[in-house]
Structure formats: structure tokens, C-alpha cells
Amino acid sequence: MKDNIKLITKNRKARREYEIIETYEAGIELKGTEVKSIRLGNVNIADSYAMIKNNELYLVGAHISPYEQGNRYNVDPTRDRKLLMHKKEIMRLFGRTQQQGLTLIPLSLYFKNSRVKVELALGKGKKLHDKREDIIRRETDRAVARNIKNFNN
């Protein structure tokens, strides 16, 4: 069965700031008006991260704007939202983040078969020199591709 995936938003800042080690998929617990707001694209996960509290995984700092027609059913736009994963996966993530100093960051938010999913990444923060190396590598790759294209023409 083919998965119907519709991208809602990406965290472009995450790949620039962190070295991605592993990625995971998690469901997210939302209220009805939050889902309607997400369908309109009123969500920002740029400064958010995931953390483990009481053996449960939470998304902290994600901003989902209140739904305009939601009136009293709207909730706090920056509230902590519970992420849905198997207990065994959460415990493995907890161990990796505690021992190795890694961080859980959301890479993207998307609909998968009409359910909202979060792509989480286990990442390590990059230093300034690592970022510079990435920029240099990207520029050299572009130059090589440009030279190959010009050589073939």
C-alpha cells in the first residue's frame, strides 16, 4: 500500500546547525483546532526540540498558530506536545541522549495517510569550523559539476 505523504514544513536550520546521525518517525498528539491550523500551514518548528520527561517524549517550542474560527477551543500555540513512539524506542533515545550528549531535533512535519507525523533526528551540534567545512565542500562540488557540464558541451 502506497503511503500518501504531504509535506507541511521542514526545519532547514536543523541540517545547518546539527550533524544528523539517525532519523525516526513519531506521531504527534494534537487537538482538533491545531490540526486545522496545520492544514493551513500555520506551523513553525525552526526553534523546537524534543525531550523526554517521565518516560514520555515531548515536542517543545513548536509554534502552531491558533485557528481563526477556533474561538474557545484554541489552545496555547507553544504548548509542549506529546510525541507518540514505542516505549522501547523512547528508552533507546533516552540512553543515547544522556550518554553521548546528542540532541533530538524535528526535521519535518508531514501528513502520512491523513495523520500528522514528525521526523525526528538524533543530532550532534556542529562547531563553527564544521560549518565552514560544509560550505567549502558544497562550493567545490558545485564548481566540479559546473566544469563537467561545460566540458561536455
CB neighbourhood size of 26 (10 A): 21
Binning the chain into helix, strand and coil, the percentages to the nearest 5 are: 35, 35, 25
Domains and CATH numbers, the chain: 5-126 (2.40.280.10)
* Residue 143: its H or E element: helix 128-152
Contacts 24+ apart (CB under 8 A), 90-99: 90/52, 90/55, 90/56, 90/57, 91/55, 93/24, 93/52, 93/57, 93/122, 94/52, 94/55, 96/122, 97/52, 97/122
pTM metric for this prediction? 0.80
- 4-28 pLDDT, tens per residue? 889 999 998 888 888 899 999 999 9
- 59-82 pLDDT, tens per residue? 999 999 998 887 887 888 889 999
Q: Find out whether 85 and 57 touch, Cβ atoms under 8 Å.
A: yes
pLDDT exceeds 90 at position 110: yes
Q: How far apart are CA 17 and CA 109, in angstroms?
A: 18
pLDDT score, position 21: 92
Average pLDDT in the chain: 89
